[in-house]
Every structure is written in structure tokens, then in C-alpha cells.
Amino acid sequence: MPHFETKAIRTQANRSQHREHSVPIFATSSFLFDDAEMARALFAEEVEGNIYSRYSNPNTNEFIEKMCLLEGTEAGIATASGMAAMFMSMATFLGSGDHIVASRSLFGSTYQLLTKLFPRWGITHTFVDITAPPVAWDAAIRPETKMIFVETPSNPGLDLLDLAFLGNLAHSKGIILNVDNCFATPYVQNPAEYGAHLVTHSATKLIDGQGRVLGGCILGKKELIQEILFLSRHTGPAMSPFHGWILSKSLETLAIRVERHSENARQLAHWLEQQDGIQKVKYPFLASHPQYELAKKQMRSGGAMLTLALEGGLDQAQKFMDALSMISLSSNLGDTRTIATHPMTTTHSKLSEGERLAVGISPGLIRISVGLEHVEDIQADLAQALKLSLAT
């Protein structure tokens, strides 16, 4: 069986008559039929093939084939953005009267889906705190519960959930386990190995890795993906061929990129723990992380993300952000360039103060997406920003 890197590099669409080494961009909205019977059979789903790029395209097909191989899933679908993937992976299986159980620690837009949008359609939810004992997850499940949805590590708090436990729980209850694997990537963690029925990604982040395109994907059991494909086909959250091409090419370097991201982040996390003005540093592969043992069990490395909580709260956080010189200020993550984000005022600003505090988003919390620059240069910028934030 080929290794991760080989599958990511050598899985390609069939070559054309031009014998290209690198797959071209199939910039076409539609595809030709050899005859009327072929058209009928394709639309009747008796044979597989491309019909229209809103349904499938060689570039998005190649991207999904790679992602399925890397995540260890049967099938998948590419979407126009990460949030399209999150929405489609839930909305396909939820209707009026249904219920979803989710970890309280979620990305801001995912949180809004559950708390603001789904209630319009009679879909209810129960949040379980990240620190809650296993019995709390079991207690949250009702007869009308259709799905468990979690992020691990979570955005931005870097909290972890036990995937083996959740996989067993979902199986015993006959419900779908849906895992957002964006922060980990398939190189660091494979939720399907632990029983996840669906694995979702914002490919905009580390999958692309260079801050160029939007994209998402949903991977999982073939019968579930078929249901998602039906909804997608008739609602249109399709990934463009160009973005599929970029993301497929990006996967060829995912392993080497994530290794460097993780090593840089690990070194910086250890260094930050020794600095003045910082209340707490959180990184999955720090021994001080509350779930360090779980991280080592289900993750191959700590990933690219870390957080630091500044002792001076919002005032120091704003001064720190403004003092950064090389590091970018952005709401994105997973780029080659190191990025600093203040979740309270950006990605999670639509949550109430109580909702933010419940998932560890304090006024002084800074999320760092550690890039691929030389680690000493990243450290130097963090050091001078910390110094200035404490001096003024």
C-alpha cells in the first residue's frame, strides 16, 4: 500500500491524448455525450461520468479521490467553501423536529448555523462542554437525535475530543458522527479510523496552504455521500474546476508542509510558555495541554495552530496585534505565512460574551496560525510585540 505522500502525489485524473505529466485545468461547464443512449444512461445514473461541472468535473473528482485516499473514506464531494461543506453535511440529514448534539467549542459560523439558522427550520441542538464527562454525551442524545457534530482540535480553543469514544457512542445509538478535521488535516489525524461517518474540511486552510482559494469537502460513507450529492446537485454549492486543480496540486506538498508547520509551532509553544505577560499557552503537543495524552493517542503531531492568553486582557491583546511587524493580521489560517487573529473581535465576534467565555475565548486570547518562515524570525516578531504590549 503506498504511503501518504505517494498517494497525494501520484493519484491523478486519466491522461488525455496530449500525454501531459501534470493534470490540466478542465475549464468547461459541460461535457459531450457520444450518443443519446449515453446521455440517458448518465442522467439515469446507470453509468458514471461527467455531465455538468455543477455535478462533477475531472479536477474536483481528482481532488476528492485524493482526499478519500488520505482520509480513508469511501466517497466524497467538493464544495465551494468550508462552510458550504459544514452546512451540506448537516442539512442533508436534518429536518423539522430533528436534533443534533455538538461540542460547544465550534468555529463561529458553525455555531451560528446551529443557534440561528437551523432553529428557523425546527432543528434543535444540545451543546456539550468540552470538559464534560462521557456520560454527558450519552445524556444529550434524544430519540430525535440524528447526528453528533464536533471539531477536534477546536477553533480557536484547541480543545480535543476522544474520537474513539464518540465513534463507539454514535455506533451504539445508530446516529451519524460528523467530524470537522480542518485543524488537523488528514496528515495529522483520520477520524474515519475511529468510526466517524462523515469528515468535513475547509480546504481553504491547510489543504490549500497558501491562502489562494476557497474550498471545502465532505468525505465519508458512500451511502451518506450519495444523499449529500443529491442535495448539492439541486442547490449548487459546487467547487470550481480551477480551485479543484489548485487544491489537488496543494495536496502533493501537504505532508512536508504540515511537518514544518507542526515543528515550528511546537518550538514556539515551548518558548512562549517561558515569556512574561502570557497567562497561558495552548498547543496539543505541549505537556501542559489538559488533553496531552489524548493528543498523542489520536494525532501524529500537534499541528499548525496555537493560542496564547495575554495577562493584560483586551488592552494588551490590541497592543500586541498592532505591534506585530512580520506576522500577518488576518482571519484566515493554514497559510505559509504566520497569521495572528483576535477571535473575540473577529471570527467569534457574533457570539455573546457568555458564549465566548464558555469555550475559553477570553479578551486576551490570540490565535496563531504558525507558518513556514524560519522559526527564529517568527519568534523574534512575537518577542518584540510582547515587549511593546507590556511597555505601553
pLDDT, position 346? 94
Same domain, yes or no: 188 and 328: no
Whole-number Å distance between alpha carbons of 72 and 66: 10
pLDDT tens across 252-304, in order?
Answer: 999 999 999 999 999 999 999 999 999 999 999 999 999 999 999 999 999 99
- pLDDT of 387 > 80? The answer is yes
Can you tell me the mean pLDDT for 174-200?
A: 98
Of residues 46, 56, 108, 47, the one with CA closest to residue 82:
108
Same domain, yes or no: 285 and 381: yes
Same domain, yes or no: 264 and 240: no
Return the percent helix, strand and coil in the chain, to nearest 5: 45, 15, 40
pLDDT, position 357? 86
Same domain, yes or no: 266 and 167: no
Please count the structural domains in the chain.
2
Same domain, yes or no: 288 and 217: no
User: 1 falls in which pLDDT band (50, 70, 90)?
Assistant: confident
Query: CATH number for the domain including 191?
Result: 3.40.640.10
Can you tell me the mean pLDDT for 86-97?
A: 98
pLDDT tens across 319-372, in order?
Answer: 999 999 999 999 999 999 999 999 999 999 988 898 898 888 999 999 999 999
Same domain, yes or no: 107 and 193: yes
Beta-carbon neighbour count of residue 160 at 10 Å? 27
Residue 191 CA: distances (Å) to CA of 150, 182, 347: 11, 11, 25
pLDDT, position 358? 85
The residue among 202, 230, 251 that closes a domain is: 251
pLDDT, position 131? 83
Same domain, yes or no: 362 and 318: yes
User: 130 falls in which pLDDT band (50, 70, 90)?
Assistant: confident
pTM score, whole prediction = 0.96
Can you tell me the mean pLDDT for 142-168?
A: 97
pLDDT, position 105? 92
The residue among 206, 227, 251 that closes a domain is: 251
Q: Which residues of 38-69 are buried (b: 16+ CB within 10 A; e: fewer)?
A: eeeebeeeeeeebeebbbbbbbbbbbbbbbbb
The residue among 251, 273, 294 that closes a domain is: 251
- pLDDT of 149 > 70? The answer is yes
pLDDT, position 360? 87
pLDDT tens across 221-239, in order?
Answer: 999 999 999 999 999 999 9
- What value does the mean pLDDT of the chain take? 96
pLDDT, position 392? 65
- pLDDT of 180 > 80? The answer is yes
Same domain, yes or no: 179 and 79: yes
Yes or no: say if 277 and 386 are a contact pair by the CB < 8 Å rule: yes
Same domain, yes or no: 216 and 302: no
Can you tell me the mean pLDDT for 364-391?
A: 97
Same domain, yes or no: 339 and 225: no
Can you tell me the mean pLDDT for 127-153?
A: 96
Q: Which domain holds residue 76?
A: 4-251
Same domain, yes or no: 114 and 175: yes
The separation between the first and the last C-alpha atoms of the chain, rounded to the nearest angstrom, is 58
Same domain, yes or no: 327 and 259: yes
User: 98 falls in which pLDDT band (50, 70, 90)?
Assistant: very high
